[in-house]
Each structure stands twice: as C-alpha cells, then as structure tokens.
C-alpha cells in the first residue's frame, strides 16, 4: 500500500468520526484535509474502491449522492482495527 493511499484512508477515517459512519464522496474535502491534490484524491478513491478498501452505501442512481465508507479491510490497513 502506497503512502498516498494510506493518507486518503486515514483522512476518510478521521473525517467520518465513527467507524460505522459513512462519508459523502467529496474528494475536495478529503484533499483539503489531507493536503493533497483533488485530482489525485479522486484517482486514489477509485483505486481503493476497486481494490476493496471502501464500501458503497448509496449511489447517485438511488439517492442522488454517492456515499462511501472505510470497510474492515480499509480500517485494518491503517491500523484502527
């Protein structure tokens, strides 16, 4: 796991405030918190989702928002589970 991906996952965890809480797909907010480029965060989020570190609760088609969460695999990768 590369350092940038770990930074994004740690940011998601920090911003969510709770292990079970979902986070809206706002790469700009994650980028600002992590002090990273928004485009890079978008790319990392896609990779993390495809690799199974993020789960999806809602998507644009059914709720109008896309929400993701750091699943158990993601939490384990950053050492919080």
What CATH number is attached to the domain comprising 56? Answer: 1.10.10.10
CB 18 within 8 A of CB 80: no
Number of domains in the chain: 1
Please check whether residue 9 is in contact with residue 74, taking contact to mean a CB–CB distance below 8 angstroms.
yes
46 within domain boundaries:
yes
Q: Which pair of structure tokens corresponds to residue 7?
A: 């930074």
Which residue's entry shows tokens 């999806």? 56
Q: What stretches of the chain adopt beta strand conformation (E)?
A: 23-24, 54-58, 67-70
Question: Model confidence over 11-61: pLDDT tens digits?
Answer: 988 888 766 665 666 788 889 999 999 999 999 999 999 999 988 765 555
Asked if the structure places residue 63 within a domain, the reply is: yes
Q: What is the predicted pLDDT for the residue at 2?
A: 94
Nearest to 25 by CA among 52, 59, 53: 59
Is residue 81 in a domain? no
Q: Give the global pTM.
A: 0.82
| Domain contains 50 | yes
Which domain range does residue 27 map to?
3-76
């Amino acid at each position: 796991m590369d350092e940038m991906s770990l930074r994004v996952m740690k940011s998601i965890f920090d911003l969510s405030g709770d292990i079970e809480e979902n986070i809206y797909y706002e790469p700009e907010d994650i980028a600002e918190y992590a002090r990273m480029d928004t485009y890079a965060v978008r790319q990392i989020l896609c990779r993390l989702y495809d690799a199974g570190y993020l789960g999806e609760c809602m998507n644009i088609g059914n709720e109008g928002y896309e929400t993701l969460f750091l699943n158990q695999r993601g939490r384990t990768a950053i050492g919080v589970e």
